[in-house]
Structure 1
């Protein structure tokens, strides 16, 4: 036999020993109070049987009373008379109730023409009303009725006593007593004594298993036996018996050794003794099994549990609460199997073979459940080292998922409440259907009505909403596939309709994005083309004239002309590169503004003065409109001067000759509005926003000297000041509006 097989067998034996040992300890908890408190005569079983015998002894012997004498001792109190009188309400209520009880019967007799029945019922009603009326007029009348009720109860009590007399006689065969009334000297005994015999000849340790003084036993017993625990309880008889004078009794009661072995009292005694011996032996054996399992553990049989590691991935996929329930179920059945094991030892069984089979089955089941529980605890103990995994498993548990599912169902409250109403209706309909079936199906018409009036319309509404939802989902699927198509029809104000409207907005946004993307690609191509053209033109001139300067014997006049051209083209190239870097810097927002309080009127005049010579040489007629007082704004004066410079430069380059140019500064509430208007010499395109793009010019032939970055730089600077720069074109009228915040 290989080592692996030996380890498995060793593990099985180890589990069996532990299961058997734990079952013994478990038996201490379940049966220890019964077998470890002393002998049988201190047990609850014996005390209960002795209580029963004494209760019967009181009624049948010590306090027995003839039925007629007990009836003579009946008493009626004023409270009882009042309770009987008002048992069914006051006089008016009782008469009214009697009348209602007979009205229907008398009416039926009248309709059937049964005069005799009518008279009999009326007479009976009147007699009852007279009796009830007499109750309220005479206490003696009520007293007689109460006495009659109590006499009836006494008759019932004595009838019941006859049923239990045989049981008392049977107990008397095992329990022997000799009692003497100290006051009267009267003796009560079930011993067969002759004149020369003494009770000590029978009531002794030799002839009795156990002897007790009656004075110790007679404590607080009810005469009729602890309210039906031993004898039928009767409150009338109990009251009369309790009112008797207490008797001072002395003597002994004992369990006789001469009783039959088949008597229930003797059998209980014998079974208890056997059970106690088995229990002690079982407890010692289970402790020995635990000690043996401890020494066996040194051979490491628990290493076999490592072979169950392959179950860990599968176990990890089980929700956490299911694992907890599985562990609790395992513990429950483990305790149940241990209970079955202990029963084979604690309780005496005549069929030893059947008991042995049940013991083996229970022991194997307990060992298997113990191993299964141990594996679960081992897997769960890993949470001590990995709290993150525990948190993740808690979040993935069914309860947490169900909680989030309920929350998600009510994210859109209308849908959540609709589901709640629908499920509630389904539940009510189901309960109604079950109730009708339980009642015999006689209310099927009610179900049909409820189904037709309530359930069917709700079903049709649900189907219509489901169809609309499917339509929305179909459009969403087409949108995901790239087919923009037409808008989804929006019907009503439900959550699905709002979802359809959101999908329409998304479709339009995607459509606009595609259009903007195409435009961006076109502008990117134009940008590359324009940059290449504008940079290559001066660069080509620089290269050409540099080569010409290398010509030998070049005339001084030509050299000076070439150098002048090189200087002009180099400066042109520098302006283009500087404007490109500045436009890029402006667009990225990576620029600092040195803001201060600036007079915009004065700043505009400075910009106009910079271009005064160019304006004078041009054929343009400038019209400037400004307030007389200063107009202040919190701006970077140098950057804003660049805006004015670029706008005035554009006017000089692109304004039609011999036309008027209008520049104005106005104050409107808390803002300053600057406008620049001129007539263009070139026809502008339809998309004015493209004029803000880099290297975009109104002169599509690109014959002017501009860089194409003026408006882009100007707009970026105004945006950085949290202002606005807008362009308007009306035919050939070109208008730029700059709006900035004013300060006082």
Structure 2
């Protein structure tokens, strides 16, 4: 156990040493250009400080122009006048734009009856239009506007530059300067010396840590650029001089702080770089001698080789990348802030530990991959298990599938050739478009090709795609059982043949599907409705029978209960009789006793049965029939049942205070009997549902009735070789009975 922990310690120590050595090399390369300088004042960082300082010095002192002087120096060129004048277009365009901007605002104010706001918008619009007209009328007017704009820019510039005065004053405390204007001989300095000679004698290497000659040309731009600075450049004059850092500066001055900090970092950098080189050499020496590390690599090899080869290479690259990133982190932490080593020491240790792990894993993977690639015979076998190889095989299989698909595309030669022609045309037109770029002469040829070949093919292609999409939509509808209309068939193409075959198949399925669906629906609804309508009176009979068994009920209550039981029993009998009658009609076992019957008289008798009910209702019956008898060969009892059912339905389902129209008309060899009323219930769009058994206009099934009335009526009329039709128009319900007349 001790040996095992000792081996782990050796591996960890070696990994840390190796990471430390690499980080030093990276530090040497990364920061070498900065820390090989003589001191801080020769670094690029300090040169940037000088650039900022001289820019501010030029603006605040050397070429310090007052705001009023800057305004007086404004120059406006003819190009600027024209640019301002045509900035937003020609005169008519600008006036049109202004009118468009205010039109909606004025209209909205007028709609809101806010005349005051409308007047304000009108005034603003007119002022802008007058301003534009004056701009195009007078150069002096434009000149004044441009000068005003530039004055505003200068005011903003002078206000903005004050934000940089604190930084300038900070730099000025450490940087001594002497600048002279070669043309006028005037000099500027921040030294206490009164004459130029004294200043030059003081600014020598004996008194200064750093001294350099510096030139400020007339077009010298600030380190910080502002809008409006270009208005001042023409007024600047060039300066020549020197900038220096005194040896007598206080240790608390920012320049001395940076100077001392640079020296410390420079020492650390040299020590760090040299130490890392020594440690890295030691690591390579130990790697050759230490059997522990090599033994560990061999131990992991069996597990590592189970991973696909391409994934191993990817993992190697990823871990190596992050290992390199952590080297950069280590360098940044070491040189981040040398004044707080305890604060940032934890981060350095963390980065070093993580980086050591990553670099050790990178080296181990590199070694294992090297061993893998040395065995060239085995590489081929390993590669066949790689993901990229398997992906390549999948692509190959895909290519074979595409090849087979192309072969299938030409099973029908006509279709395959059409596809080939379309593709050839598309690629040909694309190539022709590229040729236009090479030589515009081909534009005419391209237009001719597009007009006589491209457009006709596009039309045919769009038409074929439309036909194909209709076929696809139809097959989708057929798949979900929606047969719909037949597909249009035109021409003798493959798509036309396919559409025709689909129509044939659809017609073969349509009849059986409709019958099956109807049978299932009728079966379900019949069971549901029969169960409901039979259960309702039966439940009442059972309930009141139980109440009759109760002791102590009065004779009056007993009679009421018996009356309810009697009523519900008759209701139950009526339902059962109607059900048997419909079943008998459906089976064809009904016998008719045909007689010559006056239909008008039979209708009058049927209405007379409901005379009291009609008088008590709010309905107004309008009955129209001929004065002459209308005879038909019918079974009077059965046809009376038809009229009875229809009149009963009218009384139950008509809207209150509406009219009911009943007419009897001769039509050549037919008699037409019509019942029309306004339904108080919403009618189904599917008229056939009203003929189904136990269907009611009252879907809540709160009205009296069996729901078999129309079904019985239609069955009776059908047996008489007549017809019973229903039509609806909104809530208008119309039943028409047609029977043969006899003389």
Give TM-score scaled by structure 1 length. Answer: 0.51
Partner of 1:246: 237
How do residues 591-670 of structure 1 correspond to structure 2 at under 5 angstroms?
none
Q: d(CA) in 1 for partners of 2:76 and 2:394? A: 69
Aligned equivalent of 2:735: none
- The alpha-carbon distance between structure 1 residues 309 and 299, as it changes in their structure 2 partners (threshold 3 A), is closer
* Shift in Å, 1:149: 0.5
Give the aligned partner of residue 277 of structure 1.
Answer: 267
SS in 2 for 1:253: strand
Which secondary structure state, in structure 2, belongs to the residue aligned with residue 198 of structure 1? helix
Residue pairs, 1:280-359, within 5 angstroms: 280-301=270-291, 303-359=292-348
Distance 1:461 1:268, change over 3 A: farther
Contact kept in structure 2, 1:305 and 1:375, CA below 8 Å: no
Q: Secondary structure at the match of 1:177?
A: strand
Q: How does 1:506-521 map to 2 (within 5 A)?
A: none
* Alpha-carbon contact 2:39-2:259 (below 8 Å) kept: no
Could you say which residue in structure 2 is the equivalent of 1:261?
251
> Does structure 2 retain, via aligned residues, the 8 Å contact 1:211–1:253?
yes
CA shift, 1:272, in A, is 1.4
Name the residue aligned to 1:104: 104
* Deviation digits for residues 356-379 of structure 1 (CA, Å, limit 9, x no counterpart): 433333333232222211121122
CA contact 2:208–2:247 (8 Å) conserved in 1: yes
Tell me the number of residue pairs that the alignment of Structure 1 and Structure 2 aligns: 420
Shift of 1:320: 3.9
Residue 38 (structure 1) shift:
3.9
| C-alpha distance 117-29 of structure 1, shift in aligned 2 (>3 A) | same
Name the SS of the counterpart of 1:173 in structure 2: helix
Query: Would you say the 8 A contact 1:20–1:363 is kept in 2?
Result: yes
Q: Which secondary structure does the structure 2 equivalent of 1:188 belong to?
A: strand
* Residue aligning to 2:417: none
2:226 corresponds to which residue?
233
Label 1:462 to 1:359 Cα distance change in 2 as closer, same or farther (>3 A). farther
Q: Secondary structure at the match of 2:210?
A: strand
Q: What is the CA–CA distance in structure 1 between the aligned matches of 2:109 and 2:8, rounded to whole Å?
A: 90
State how far apart, in whole Å, the 1-side matches of 2:477 and 2:363 are: 51
Between the aligned partners of 1:196 and 1:159, the Cα distance in structure 2 is 33
Q: Distance between the aligned counterparts of 1:150 and 1:403, measured in 2?
A: 68
Report whether the alignment pairs 1:156 with 2:147.
Answer: no
Partners of 1:157 and 1:232 within 8 A in 2: no
- TM-score (norm. length: structure 2): 0.51
Distance 1:220 1:10 in 2: 67
Report 1:267-666 matches (<5 A). Answer: 267-301=257-291, 303-387=292-376, 389-402=378-391, 405=394, 408=397
8 Å Cα contact 1:213/1:253 also seen in 2: yes
Task: Specify the alignment match of 2:221 in structure 1.
Answer: 223
Give SS of 2:170's match.
helix
User: 1:275, 1:345 within 8 Å by CA — same for their partners in 2?
Assistant: no
The residue that corresponds to 1:168 in the other structure is: 168
Q: CA deviation at 1:166?
A: 1.9
Output the CA distance in 2 between the equivalents of 1:462 and 1:384: 59
Aligned to 1:656: none
> 1:288–1:32: structure 2 CA closer, same or farther, 3 Å change rule?
same
My pick for the range that moved more, 94-103 or 395-404, is 395-404
Distance change >3 Å, CA 136–CA 395, structure 1 → 2: farther
The offset of 1:14, in angstroms, is 2.8
Q: Deviations over 1:537-581 (max 9, x none)?
A: xxxxxxxxxxxxxxxxxxxxxxxxxxxxxxxxxxxxxxxxxxxxx
Paired residue secondary structure (1:100)? helix
Quote how far apart the aligned CAs of 1:253 are.
Answer: 1.2
CA contact (8 A) 1:344 1:355 kept: yes
Q: Sort the Cα spacing of 1:381 and 1:49 in 2 relative to 1 into closer, same or farther, 3 A.
A: same
SS at match of 1:318: coil
2:64 matched residue in structure 1:
64
Change over 3 Å in CA distance of 1:391–1:416 after alignment to 2 = farther
Gapped regions of structure 1 (runs ≥ 5): 226-230, 418-453, 466-489, 495-744
Q: Could you tell me how far 1:54 is from its partner in structure 2?
A: 0.4
Deviation of the 1:211 alpha carbon: 0.9
Distance 2:404 2:94 in 1: 58
Instruction: Give SS of 1:26's match.
Output: helix
Shift of 1:138: 1.9
| Residues 220/61 of structure 1: CA separation in 2 closer, same or farther (3 Å cut) | closer
Does the CA-based 8 Å contact 1:319-1:398 persist in structure 2?
yes
Partner of 1:43: 43
Q: Distance in 2 between matches of 1:461 and 1:60?
A: 82
Match of residue 116 from structure 2 = 116
Separation in structure 2 between the aligned mates of residue 462 and residue 328 of structure 1, nearest angstrom: 54
Tell me the secondary structure at the aligned position of residue 204 of structure 2.
coil
Pick closer, same or farther for the CA change 1:221–1:378 going to 2, 3 Å: farther
Partner Cα distance (2:347, 2:379) in 1: 41
Q: Indicate if the aligned counterparts of 2:55 and 2:222 stay in contact, CA closer than 8 A.
A: yes
- Report the CA distance between 1:20 and its aligned residue: 1.4
What runs of 5+ residues in structure 2 fail to find an aligned partner?
407-468, 481-497, 503-743
Kindly indicate whether the alpha-carbon contact (under 8 Å) linking 2:63 and 2:237 is maintained by their aligned counterparts in 1.
no
Cα distance in structure 2, aligned partners of 1:396 and 1:162: 70
Note the C-alpha offset of 1:24.
0.9
Residues 106 and 408 of structure 1, relative CA distance in 2, 3 Å threshold: farther
